[in-house]
Amino acid sequence: MATFRRSRDGLLTLDLRPVEADVLASLAREVLELLGAPGEPAQRAVDPLAEELGLADLPSFGDHEGASPAVPPEDEVLRRLLPDAYGEDDPQAAAEFRRLTEAGLRERKARAARGLLATLEPVAGQGGRVKLDADGARTWLAALNDIRLALGTRLGVSDDPDEDPFDALAEEDPERYAWAVYDFATHLQETLVRSLG
């Protein structure tokens, strides 16, 4: 299985087989799609006054296709990727915090996924070596974390170490593949963190 290692020049390297590179790229594209950012960041009109005051990056209520960003997403994976800051204790504060931060959080997560995809481009379809500097490693950590959160939420991963539904799945169950991909992403994240240490 592909594993991050530190090379003599101080960069982190990862040798990927074609299928591993393709799976990672596919997962990053799915995260982008979930975030509503399939390609480049969406261009939005900037209020000249907001720009003059240095507030151009703050989201407005109209930033998300007909829905206020103050409303938590309905999709459980998006709720995990874009969680409420205050939970159910203070819904008004949570809504206001979401209104002010959600667009920026979406863009940071989309930027990480796009960064991972850009790094994978040279090895797409053929496999090969990926090299990361410190910034690239941080981008990969963020993107891998989001991939794991998305997959883990869909699979119902829990914090209980005694609860591992993978063993109970039939050999031909398609969910076994999803669990294998989740384990692969977890392995990559763990070896990346160790290599940074």
* CA atoms of 58 and 130, how far apart (whole Å): 35
Residue 121 has pLDDT above 70, yes or no: yes
- The amino acid that residue 73 corresponds to is P
CB distance 151 to 27 below 8 Å = yes
Report the predicted TM-score, pTM, of the whole model to 2 decimal places: 0.81
- Report the SS3 class of residue 151: helix
CB distance 28 to 115 below 8 Å = no
The confidence score (pLDDT) of residue 49 equals 46
The confidence score (pLDDT) of residue 135 equals 97
- Domain locations along the chain: 5-196
The confidence score (pLDDT) of residue 89 equals 80
* CA atoms of 174 and 160, how far apart (whole Å): 23
Residues 6+ apart with CB under 8 A from 82: 72, 73, 98, 102, 105, 106
CB distance 185 to 151 below 8 Å = yes
- Model confidence over 122-177: pLDDT tens digits? 999 999 999 999 999 999 999 999 999 999 999 988 877 666 677 778 888 888 88
Residue 15 has pLDDT above 60, yes or no: yes
* Residue range 42-54: mean pLDDT, rounded: 47
In degrees and rounded to multiples of 5, residue 94 shows phi and psi of -65, -40
| Cα pseudo-dihedral 70, 75, 79, 81, rounded to 10 | -110
- Report the SS3 class of residue 146: helix
The confidence score (pLDDT) of residue 136 equals 98
The confidence score (pLDDT) of residue 164 equals 67
Structure tokens given for 112: 């990480």
Structure tokens given for 17: 């087989």
CB distance 31 to 114 below 8 Å = no
- Model confidence over 53-109: pLDDT tens digits? 555 554 443 344 444 457 888 899 999 999 988 867 888 888 889 988 999 999 999
Is pLDDT larger for residue 139 or for residue 36?
A: 139
The confidence score (pLDDT) of residue 61 equals 36
